[in-house]
Chain A
Amino acid sequence: MNFIVEGYPAYAYTGGRDFDPQLPAVVFVHGSALDHSVWHYPARYLAHHGFAVLAVDLPGHGRSPGAVRTTVEALADWVAAFVEAACVGRAHLVGHSMGALAALDCAIRHPHRVASLALVGISVPMPVGEAFLAAAADDSPAAFDMQSVWGHARLASLAASAIPGLSQVGASRSLVARARPGVQHADLAACHAYAPPAESIRAIEAPTLVVAGRRDQMTPFRAGAELAGRIPRAKLVALDAGHAMPTEAPRELVAALRAHLAG
């Protein structure tokens, strides 16, 4: 369904159920150059288990028009505006990678919009290599390869997929390659530049779940664990997966989110 956020239509997948603002809301925020569809299984599961689910397409991604936001802070402002536009008061935020940074920053600067945080595949800071940024700046297919190969566990293409018949790396590459020109670079550059004050992270009050992949090649497990140690009310869950946990380990992620949301 579509909302109007900061003057533009904003699409959100509701998990196969009509959106009911009376239910506790869960807003899913995707990563760089991706869209709502990475959350397919977790979003659909929670929508059928008592939550009002909104898996957004960030501005300039997927089905949402508008200019790509070029800083994590601007993304966080947009997420806060989205929660307001959806008339849910506040929401449980579930973010992946860049989306996790946006959710984190939303909890720092718009805490009244955040019921809880689930940060999947995150590190703060989130440095992006020079070669990766340069390839993305040119919209080079090499950048699509970098994101899809490094974005999964090492040699993921040689392993069985958690989703029968789906090539994890191939599907991810196709999705990244469909992003509009310039989007991947803008997203990666925003991740690279994000540097919140250390004390702002220690001041986060929202109940927080950090989900870290033991085989994550982009935001290493130890970085997720380290961040969980800095957020006062954070719990850490480790998954045997790479960076793309929403699709590499959807069943395990659903279990972690369910426990987190049950409080």
Chain B
Amino acid sequence: MAHSGPKAPHPDTLAVHAGQSPDPATGARAVPIYQTASYVLPDADTAAALFDMELPGHVYSRLSNPTVAVLEERMAALEGGAGAIATASGQAALHLAIATLMGRGGHIVSSASLYGGSHNLLHYTLPRFGIETTFVPARDPDAWRRAIRPETRLLFGETVGNPSVDVLDVPSLAKVAEDNAIPLLVDATVTTPALGRSLEMGAHLVVHSATKFLSGHGVVIGGVLVDGGRFDWDASGKFPTLTQPYEGFHGMVFSEESTVSAFLLRARREGLRDFGACMAPMTAFQVLQGLETLHLRMPRHVASTAVVVDFLAKHPAVARVHHPALAAHPDHALARALYPQGCSAILAFELAGGREAGRRFIEALSLFSHLANIGDAKSLVIHPASTTHHRMDDAALAQAGITPGTVRLSIGLEHPDDLVEDLSRALRASQK
């Protein structure tokens, strides 16, 4: 029989309020910026108890901060997770997740369709620390399954790949992950919890670049790591960092201390403590300013993207448009199933005329800003092969769905007619 649960706040309400009570000291309604490195310890016994995790509370802002905690708890609420850790950048969030789960000898299976920065970390940097990654086509669950080895500790992909705009089949990959007793981590930067909740689709961990749509204003660098609290580390037996005594914290066994937040405890007590890539309070405040309107902005981003996609798909100077809203896109049905309100304000297209036409096109745009970012209120354009993905060779580029002529757009909050006008002028210029 169908059961209906209790009424809980809607995502719109969570985006405005979750994780924040009016300031107990002043009554301030806005989130105060607790711009402090440290916190006065009231007495020796409480001091020892706070350091030893016998009492919860703030000790030093590298480990936790009241302003940052509001963002963490708000993101956990929006994603439906057990908790979250905010980090200095999205890259720091990804690194924190990996370093918490594995060390030398660990192996990751990752989608080949990744942001260039994530590809750099996995392909070039982590092997130096003994962690290898096998890249597989995002759309082929069997390829993911075949790439898993005894030492594999993580599956990783972007909910919507950047810049190829392929849609990760999160439910199918979650099944692959669970069949192998390893977690699925997704980067949900492009979709945000406003368009789809990855944990409900089956992912176990979620990372975000908070720099992008979560903020929406392009003024800060930040990241967030959310734990669903549902992965059974003990049953898996593959994660001694969480299930065996940790000498670095009095022999603590994190999965005994907390059944649902063992991962977050270790990530905070080791990863933030030792690697130190924490988020600054001012950054958390600025991300929160954006987050309050996430549920209003994302539908507008998506609606304007549909207008642009439609325009480009009909334009004679455009050879091909990559966006799941198009019926011809291989992920069209999957995108509709997982993200019924739309899945991406990012799109890519191939210009007729290749690299040279691409250069003329970008230089002829005036409303779109040519820069390396996505998810701003302002519309953005970039040529991945020469910028964000320039360290990849042609084969890796092809695997990531990028050609020398690929142009990536991030559609902002301007009026879509103005964007189409700007694109129209630049497309004419590109073909001269």
> A residues bordering B, Cβ < 8 Å?
13, 16, 35, 37, 40-41, 44-45, 48, 62-63, 131, 134-135, 138, 140-146, 149-150, 155, 157-167, 169-171, 173-175, 177-178, 250-251, 254
Contacts and interface: CB of A to CB of B under 8 A. Distances in A.
A164 B8 contact: no
B250 interface: yes
Q: Is the interface of B mostly helix, strand, loop or mixed?
A: loop
B20 A45 contact: no
Q: Which of B53, B80, B84, B229 has the most C-beta atoms of chain A within 10 angstroms of its own C-beta?
A: B229
Nearest to B258: A37
B56 A149 contact: no
Given A41-B55, A45-B49, A157 B18 contact: yes
A49 to B, nearest CB: 8
Contacts of A163: 56
B261 A171 contact: yes
Contacts, number: 154
Contact of B56 (A143, A164, A178): A164
Given A44-B53, A170-B82, A149 B8 contact: yes
B302 interface: no
A145 B5 CA distance: 6
B49 A174 contact: no
25 contacts: A16-B53, A35-B259, A37-B258, A41-B53, A44-B53, A135-B5, A143-B5, A145-B5, A145-B6, A146-B6, A149-B8, A155-B9, A158-B9, A158-B14, A158-B20, A160-B70, A160-B73, A161-B19, A164-B57, A165-B72, A165-B264, A167-B83, A170-B77, A175-B259, A250-B56
Given A131-B3, A158-B9, 7 more contacts: A37-B256, A44-B54, A135-B3, A164-B57, A164-B65, A167-B81, A174-B82
A178 B228 CA distance: 11
B366 to A, nearest CB: 43
Nearest to B70: A160
B309 to A, nearest CB: 35
Contact of A251 (B53, B55, B230): B55
A167 B77 contact: yes
Contacts of B252: 16
Contacts of B52: 16, 44, 48
Interface string B1-27: 101111011000110011111000000
Interface residues of B, number: 54
B140 interface: no
Interface in B40-62: 48-49, 52-58
B1 A134 contact: yes
Contacts of B1: 134, 138
B232 interface: yes
Given A164-B64, A165-B73, A174-B229, A158 B56 contact: no
B76 A166 contact: yes
A16 B256 CA distance: 9
Contacts of A149: 5-6, 8
B230 A178 contact: yes
Contacts of B58: 164
A175 B228 CA distance: 10
A138 B54 CA distance: 37
Given A158-B9, A250-B56, A178 B20 contact: no
Q: Which of A40, A63, A134, A149 has the most C-beta atoms of chain B within 10 angstroms of its own C-beta?
A: A40
